[in-house]
Chain A
Amino acid sequence: MIQSLSGPVDTRPWWQKLVQNYTLRTFVQSLFTVWAVITFVFFLIRLMPGNPVEIYVNYLMNTENLTYQDAYNRAASQFKFDPDASVVQQYFVYLGQLLRGDMGESITSTGTKVSSQILRYLPWTVFCVGSALLISFLLGMLLGMLAAYFRNTWVDNVISFLASIVSAVPDYIWAILILIIFGVQLKWFNVGDMRGTYDPATPPGFNLPFILSALQHAILPITTYVLGSIGRWVLAMRGSTTSTLGEDYVNIARARGLKQNRIMTAYVGRNAALPLFTLLAISIGFVLGGSVIVEEAFVYKGLGSFLFWSISQRDYTSMQGVLLIITIAVVFSNMLADLLYSRLDPRVRVTGDK
Chain B
Amino acid sequence: MSEVVLSVQDVSIVYRVSRGQVKASQHISFDLHKGESLALIGESGSGKTTVSLSFIDMLPSAAKITGGKVLYTRDGKTENIFEFSEARMRDFRWHDCAMVFQGAQNAFNPVLKIKEQFLDTARAHGWRDKGKVIKRTLELLRLVRLDPERTLESFPHELSGGMKQRTLLALGVLLDPQVVILDEPTTALDILTQRAIIEVLKEMQSRLGFSIIFISHDLALAAEMADRVATMYAGEMVELGSTQHIFYEPLHPYSLGLLQSVPRLSQDKDELSSIKGNPPDLIDPPSGCKFHPRCPFAQELCNQEEPVFKEHEPGHFAACHFTENVIEARANLWKKD
Contacts and interface: CB of A to CB of B under 8 A. Distances in A.
Interface residues of B, number: 41
B322 to A, nearest CB: 41
> How big is the A interface, by class?
20 to 34
B93 A256 contact: yes
Nearest to B150: A5
B91 interface: yes
Interface in B125-151: 125, 145-147, 150-151
Interface in B44-73: 56, 58
B215 to A, nearest CB: 14
Contacts of A108: none
Interface of A: 1-9, 247-249, 251-259, 262, 266-267, 270-271, 274, 344-347
7 closest Cβ contacts across the A-B interface? A7-B158, A257-B93, A248-B106, A346-B155, A257-B94, A258-B124, A256-B94
B154 A257 contact: no
A271 B159 contact: no
B109 A4 contact: no
B107 A5 contact: no
Given A255-B94, A267-B109, A5 B159 contact: yes
B99 interface: yes
Given A257-B90, A266-B109, A4 B120 contact: no
Contacts of B94: 255-257
Given A248-B105, A253-B120, A257-B90, 6 more contacts: A3-B163, A5-B159, A256-B93, A256-B94, A257-B95, A262-B120
B91 A5 contact: no
B191 interface: no
12 contacts: A1-B196, A3-B163, A5-B147, A5-B150, A7-B154, A7-B158, A8-B153, A8-B154, A257-B124, A259-B124, A266-B111, A271-B111
Contacts of A262: 120, 124
A4 B124 contact: no
Given A257-B92, A257-B94, A258-B120, A345 B110 contact: yes
Nearest to B91: A257
Contact of A252 (B95, B101, B110, B163): B101
Contact of B101 (A3, A248, A259): A248
Contact of B111 (A253, A258, A346): A346
B112 interface: yes
B121 interface: yes
Interface string B100-119: 01010111111111000000
A3 B107 contact: no
B47 to A, nearest CB: 19
A252 B146 CA distance: 21
B266 to A, nearest CB: 31
Contacts of A247: 106
Given A257-B93, A257-B121, A249 B150 contact: no
A252 B110 CA distance: 13
B157 interface: yes
Contacts of B159: 5, 7
A257 B127 CA distance: 13
Contacts of A256: 93-94, 98, 120-121, 124, 171
